[in-house]
Structure 1
Amino acid sequence: MTSESARELVAVFGGSFNPPHIAHVMTVLVVLSTHPVDRVVVIPTFAHPFAKQLAPYEDRVRMIELAMAGIARVEISRIEETLGGESRTLRTLEHLQSEHPSWNLRLVMGADVLAETPKWYAFDRIAKIAPPIVLGRAGFESSAAPTPILPAISSTDIRAKVGQGRWSDLEPIVPRTVLEYIREHALYEHGH
């Protein structure tokens, strides 16, 4: 039996990261510096449950690795690829829980994502397994939302700007190494 003191508090941060941007990096840094977590596990979505078009999985994994490089206590997990099929938060958390019984899980999400949870499958069970850490995001106002600390940066807007060749607009909001990767691999040339 694992004693409570030997348990690790692990924050789980999932997303399509299509592409990752500085608000994703800031999210990880905020969680690590304001919550007593031992580590953050970043999980790129394998196949989006709402059938969104995504850049190839390998490219998104590589971009999030580049974005998070150099941040201590962060690991990128390919668990959703291992599980296969459509990504479901509940299935991912249940798998993490069974694979790592010594982990106490918390689910990291922006207030804008929290507003979408009624559409999620079994969010009440998700919240029981991994109580959410909710971070406020600029441009999203709600009585349930905490004070905005994350900038209003959208991957959708980033993809559109790449498609328009507006690289200078992207320099302040996308990690340099990620922008280089996008250019080198000709991702999002058509804005999606």
Structure 2
Amino acid sequence: MKIGLYFGSFNPIHIGHLVIANHMVEHSDLDQIWFVVTPHNPFKKKSSLLDNYQRLEMVYRATKDYAKLQPSDIEFNLPQPNYTINTLVYLQEKHPDYEFSLIMGEDNLKSFHKWKNYELILENHHIYVYPRLSNGHVETQFDNHKKIHHIDAPIMELSSTFIRNAIKAGKNIQPMLPQHVWQYLDEMNFYK
């Protein structure tokens, strides 16, 4: 089974995340996408970041109607601060029959060479890249790498920061969120 790992704080998860993940799983050879909720870094003060389990709950609610999209709390129990390479090694040990790949935006690919053990990641895992709005294509050292696959997913210019700010300003953001997530946010009075 081929699993694409989509890392994020998902604070909150929104329709842009779902559109990209669904496009990746439907238009590539991936069988499932796991939304890996990245835990709150204990050394960073970030009052706008909801608790790990509240964000996991939102991802669960957002993905529960999609068989190929799954929430994952795999990083909650790994030592902090954590690096992607550690998560990949842990997952590979835990699920030796699965093949794990990374999903990232073009913007992240540009700085991928700065990641801890990025060579090891590329040696053992594929990377599926989705487009981001930018000033044209920027050459990277990974342009023709056999393990990097550019997937022509829709460009989603929707951010969790924008959504949080809009909620704080009293704007209606309901169309930007999966229905179950919007209901949860509204019930819990998050980001107000």
The normalised TM-score by structure 2 is: 0.83
SS at match of 1:165: coil
Letter in 1 for 2:92: Q
1:96 counterpart (91, 94, 119) = 91
1:114 positional shift: 2.1
Q: Is the 8 A contact 2:22 2:69 kept in 1?
A: no
**Counterpart position of 1:162:** 167
After TM superposition, the structure 1 stretch with the greater mean CA deviation from structure 2, 117-126 or 129-138, is 117-126
**Counterpart position of 1:43:** 36
2:9 counterpart (16, 32, 37) = 16
1:127-146 mapped onto 2 (5 Å cutoff): 127-139=122-134, 141-144=136-139
Letter in 1 for 2:39: F
Instruction: Let me know the Cα RMSD of the aligned residues.
Output: 2.3
CA deviation vs aligned residue, 1:134-190 (integer Å, no higher than 9, x gap)? 0112356433595562311111111111111112xx12221122122112112112x
Instruction: Give aligned pairs, total.
Output: 180
Using the aligned pairs only, state the percent identity.
28
1:28 positional shift: 1.5
The normalised TM-score by structure 1 is: 0.83
CA spacing shift, 1:71–1:136, aligned 2, 3 Å: same
After TM superposition, the structure 1 stretch with the greater mean CA deviation from structure 2, 42-51 or 87-96, is 42-51
After TM superposition, the structure 1 stretch with the greater mean CA deviation from structure 2, 56-65 or 175-184, is 175-184
2:186 counterpart (174, 180, 183) = 183
After TM superposition, the structure 1 stretch with the greater mean CA deviation from structure 2, 38-47 or 61-70, is 38-47
After TM superposition, the structure 1 stretch with the greater mean CA deviation from structure 2, 113-122 or 152-161, is 113-122
